[in-house]
Amino acid sequence: MIEIRNLTKRFAQHTAVDDLSFSVQPGEVLGFLGPNGAGKSTTMKMLTGFLAPTSGSASILGFDIQTDTLKAQQQIGYLPEGAPCYGDMTVRSFLDFIAEVRGYKGAEKRERVARAVAQVELDAVLEQSIETLSKGFKRRVGLAQAILHDPKVLILDEPTDGLDPNQKHQVRKLIQSLAYDKIVIISTHILEEVSAVCTRAVVIAHGKLLADGTPLELESRSRYHQAVTLVADEALDQAALAALPGVAGVEENSLEHSLSVLAKPGQVIFPQVNALIAERGWKVRELNVERGRLDEVFRSLTRGESV
Amino acid sequence: MTQLSVVFKRELASYFATPLAYVFILIFLVLSGVFTFYLGGFFESGQANLSAFFNFHPWLYLFLVPAIAMRLWAEERKSGTIELLMTLPITRFDAVTGKFLAAWVFAGLALLLTFPMVITVNYLGEPDNGAILTGYIGSWLLAGGYLAIGSCMSALAKNQVIAFILAVSLCFLFIVSGFPMVLDGFSGWAPQWLVDAVASLSFLTRFEAISKGVIDLRDLLYFVTLIAAWLAATAVVIDLKKAD
């Protein structure tokens, strides 16, 4: 378990992390969300023992990061932002170095390195020096060093930033395959990632915790939660839709020729809308019930905070 | 201790991963030869010793050793790998000492490659090889002192060039602190103990004593303490500056 209690980090001019408290249980994949400069990376740097908090504390599986730094760090696999690696080393010698630092020798070292290499598919570039690799491969080298010792806690700072869609998909699959018995914390500002891999999302802005829940719970805060979107060739009677019980309003999207019928909080309006379509005999090409739009929730949460 | 040796191994290998190491060794060997034979007047002096060789080391090192030391921490900070290194389960002591030792061993390697000097002087005459040995020990200790200062400056500056200039300036101060021009500046107003203290900080007097074949425990202690103090300062500076 990771426990963060009243974690605060002040730099000379500003407060990067402001009285942050939450805990993470094994098996959880926590998406750490926030706009740029929200304090995500600073929090992760404090969790991994790189930065000392101004006040408050964090413990990793019971080891306090301030007083039991080395033991806590042994539990963690960490991918820093931008995946820094020693560019002049080859992939193999770099991973060997990490394995040796983690205390592996001889056959076990070779086995660990081989397994990590297989997991992130690095075989093709094993003897190349890291600075000659593409961004995607560099990121994978960073991931390989983080998972090499099969850590109980994985902390990944923007693991898919700057990757192409295929590579993003691959990294997400890897995270999902690793996650079942671990604590995984991923920072990101890509919202699709949260729905794709996270079991829980924490939103912060200006160092403060704004929201904490499953991606579904967050989505349900959206005004589009349970909204019904219709696409039809003919013009639809918007007044009739708006008059249905439980409907909060109707939005017209002229570009897609679609209508979004918004639900009042806690209401399900799909049956009513469907019944109206049948009754009027409208020819509707598409009919979707929305789960909610994370980006909209994210914007309303973080914008309210920043002004 | 194993952690220290892992850091040491990686760091030493990184010197040889680029042509830098070979270029450095070449420059060092050429310059030490030039200094010994032309400026030092090795042949003209007609003496079977290597004082013409060792006498120039404090000045030779003044520029060459900060060049080895400047990348120690500045590069880690610039490339961001310091975040990787500091979040691995390695103590500050192991990281700082491991890196320093790698640089020191590298400097020692360059120094050992001057062995043709020893062969030459033995071929030409009958030198006191004991004094030559202490000369090498003194020279290596001197390099260690410069490196420890350079390591701290490298931790202080993100830019390698600035780290280099800071280290050269500071090392220069440590050389000239035994010179009359510096001591005169103090003797007018400062108490005698302070003047003595400043004079005793000088690399030159310590190094000259050792390279003449006199190994005094106080001189050894001086270099060991100096190195330890600057490495401790390095660790403190890293803690303060690593996130900048």
- Enter the tokens of residue B25: 């060794």
Total domains in the fold of chain B: 1
- pLDDT digit string, tens, across residues B72-87: 999 999 999 999 999 9
Domains in chain A, start-ordered, CATH in brackets? 2-219 (3.40.50.300), 228-290 (3.30.70.100)
Chain A partners of B89 at a C-beta cutoff of 8 Å? 70-71, 73-74, 101-102
Interchain contact B91–A (C-beta under 8 A): yes
pTM of this structure: 0.87
Give the whole-angstrom CA distance, residue A18 versus residue A45.
14
Q: Which of B6, B83, B89 sits opposite A84 (nearest CB)?
A: B83
ipTM over 0.90: no
- pLDDT digit string, tens, across residues A225-255: 888 888 887 777 888 888 888 888 888 887 7
Q: A45, A50, A143: which to substitute to probe chain B, counting the most B Cβ within 10 Å?
A: A50
Chain B partners of A45 at a C-beta cutoff of 8 Å? 83, 243
Q: Which of B2, B14, B90 sits opposite A86 (nearest CB)?
A: B14
pLDDT at A113 over 60: yes
Give pLDDT, residue A53. Answer: 92
Contact criterion met (CB < 8 Å) for B87 and A73 = yes
Contact criterion met (CB < 8 Å) for A84 and B81 = yes
The whole-number average pLDDT for the span A159-184 is 86
CA distance A228 to chain B (A): 48
Give pLDDT, residue A76. Answer: 94
A224-253 in b/e form (b: 16+ CB < 10 A) is bbbbbbbebeeebeeeebeebebbeebeee
The 8 Å CB, 24+ separation contacts for B110-119 are: B110/B24, B110/B25, B110/B28, B110/B29, B111/B136, B111/B139, B111/B140, B111/B143, B113/B25, B113/B29, B114/B29, B114/B32, B114/B53, B117/B32, B117/B36, B117/B50, B117/B53, B118/B50
Q: Which of A52, A86, A97 sits opposite B6 (nearest CB)?
A: A97
Nearest CA in chain B to A74: B89
Give pLDDT, residue A284. Answer: 84
Q: A47, A61, A86: which to substitute to probe chain B, counting the most B Cβ within 10 Å?
A: A86
- Enumerate residues 61 to 90 of chain A having a beta carbon within 8 A of any beta carbon in chain B: 70-71, 73-74, 76, 78, 80-82, 84-89
- pLDDT digit string, tens, across residues A12-22: 888 899 999 99
Q: Which of B79, B89, B243 sits opposite A73 (nearest CB)?
A: B89
Full residue range of the structural domain in which residue B193 is found: 2-241
